[in-house]
Amino acid sequence: MPDDDKIDSMDKIMQDLVSKAKIMATVDFEKLESEGVIEKVRGGYLVRKHSLVPEAAMRHLVKSMTPTKTGVKIILFKPPKNFIDLAGKSN
């Protein structure tokens, strides 16, 4: 019986990971960069136009948020490709 509980919890963890991967896969960093919404910097992507960043990125991909004199400096991280690939494999 304890093994069944362990298997159920592992399945739940995998489902959670796949659902997060699907959410993160919706963020197109190349498109956002070409539109000037974000800029590649050392350690991630600097947000230039806060209002145009997708909600999924602001909820799940914020690496750091630093207050400045003129507002807030937000750095996003790009999830690893193998993590994003989880979203495609689950279909």
- Complete DSSP assignment for 9-76: HHHHHHHHHHHHHHHHHT--HHHHHHTTSEEEETTEEEES-GGGS-HHHHHH-EEEEEE-SSSEEEEE
Q: What is the pLDDT of residue 62?
A: 93
- Domain tally, the chain: 1
Cα gap 76→41, rounded to integer Å: 10
What pTM value is reported for the model?
0.76
Domain assignment of residue 52, given as a range: 2-89
Q: What is the pLDDT of residue 1?
A: 47
Element (H, E) at 88: helix 81-89
Q: pLDDT digit of tens for each residue in the chain (91 aa)?
A: 456 677 778 888 888 888 888 888 889 999 999 999 999 999 899 999 999 999 999 999 999 999 999 989 999 999 888 888 877 765 5
